[in-house]
Amino acid sequence: MTRQPPETRHQEGFTVKAGPWAEGTVLAPYGELDLDTVAELEAALDRALAVPATVVVIDCAWLEFCDSTGLNALLRARDRAAVEGSRIELARPRPLVLRMLELTGVTDAFPIRDTVPG
């Protein structure tokens, strides 16, 4: 069974669903993450990171595309999380997104999970 977090917000065809898990929040972005949609992910990350010492898992299974703007947002959030004693992990990236993460060296910056916590 595929986990479908409950909270949904829409912007320009891009959606971020958020749901709790034992150690923090699962964020599931749907669609294309780029300059036009990055603010939606940043807002979801801000809400998730408002809880101290949390783990945010970004479920990339439905992320169809991520440009450099989205990548930079993820890296900024990772740095913020580290300062605040939190952590961001990525889960189940699609082949296209995984390839971008590998080419840019981001796979060394984030733990990457094969599954989503539930």
Domain spans, the chain: 7-113
Per-run averaged pLDDT (10 residues), the chain, 118 residues: 43 85 96 96 97 96 95 97 96 95 93 92
What does the pLDDT read at residue 118? 77
User: Rounded distance, CA 61 to CA 41, Å?
Assistant: 15
Which superfamily does 7-113 belong to?
STAS domain (3.30.750.24)
The whole-angstrom distance between residue 102's C-alpha and the CA centroid of its chain comes to: 16
- Integer angstrom CA distances of residue 110 from 14, 42, 56, 90: 23, 17, 11, 7
Which class for 115: exposed (0-12), middle (13-18), buried (19 or more C-beta within 10 A)?
Answer: exposed
User: Residue 75 in 3-state DSSP?
Assistant: helix
